[in-house]
Chain A
Amino acid sequence: MIPDKKKTLTIILTEGPYRSQYVEMAHNITESALDNGYGVNLFLYMDATHIPKKNQNPHSFPNVGQRLKSLINKGAKIRACIRCATARGHACDKNSYLKGVSITSVYDIPGWIRESDKVITLSG
């Protein structure tokens, strides 16, 4: 029996951490898709480029950086918009982001759409 081609989900996330539940929703969807055998692309746009910042230390919320790290380890592909990351001070320092997060541009979005079976956006 020929196995089905692995399906791919792309998520475009525009919201930053802690202020809203969008990041948690994106992480939950990503984890569920990975657990169900999907490949997952997560594009971080605008305030979402804060998410991969190292050394986050929230006192009242789950740490979105640690959650993202576990999703990267499970196989999620993560890219952040360079324009947005630079504006927010994350692209100037090589060590600003968690390992496994690429800083690229919106020009990667069409490629990810092409390889995807489904695209969803999480935007406030």
Chain B
Amino acid sequence: MDSNLIIVDKAPYGYEDTFSAFYVSIACLNKGMHSDVLLVGDGVYAAIKDQKPGGSVDYPNVGELSYLIFPEGSIFVHSESMKERGIIEEDMVEAAQIIDDNELYDIIHSKTKETAFIRI
């Protein structure tokens, strides 16, 4: 398989999963494998700009990590999930590519059997 789509549906900081998913994407890109990230459901919170993690949590800023993926890889953000959570385009990092259901279908449809779908 020669590429992957990392699917994230959990919010950052509440779980380790979001930035661990970003790390996988970054590792793949650094090793020359194409990788995109799809943020859906609570995963859309990962692309909000000006995040300030700190205090006892002190996780890496996942909004900033998105720039280690973009522009080699895309950060797709599901617009319906944003809408459900009251998040607007202006709230997002510039790396975010906001997509509706039809665009999501086209992206999934364009992937071949050589693409690994990895949900973390």
Contact = CB atoms under 8 A, between A and B. Distances in A.
A63 interface: no
Most interface-central of A83, A105, A121 (chain B CB within 10 A): A121
B27 A14 contact: no
Interface SS of chain B: helix, strand, loop or mixed? mixed
Contacts of B20: 14, 45-46, 84
Contacts of A111: 31
Nearest to B31: A110
Interface in B22-41: 23-24, 27-28, 30-33
Of the four ranges (under 10, 10 to 19, 20 to 34, 35 or more), the interface on chain B belongs to 10 to 19
Contacts of B24: 12, 45, 106, 109
Contacts of A12: 24, 118, 120
Contact of A123 (B2, B17, B27, B33): B17
Interface string A80-124: 000110000000000000000000011101110110111101010
Per CB-CB distance, the 6 closest pairs between chain A and chain B, nearest first, are A119-B116, A110-B31, A110-B33, A106-B27, A110-B28, A107-B27
Interface of A: 10, 12, 14, 45-46, 83-84, 105-107, 109-111, 113-114, 116-119, 121, 123
Interface of B: 1-2, 4, 16-17, 20, 23-24, 27-28, 30-33, 116-120
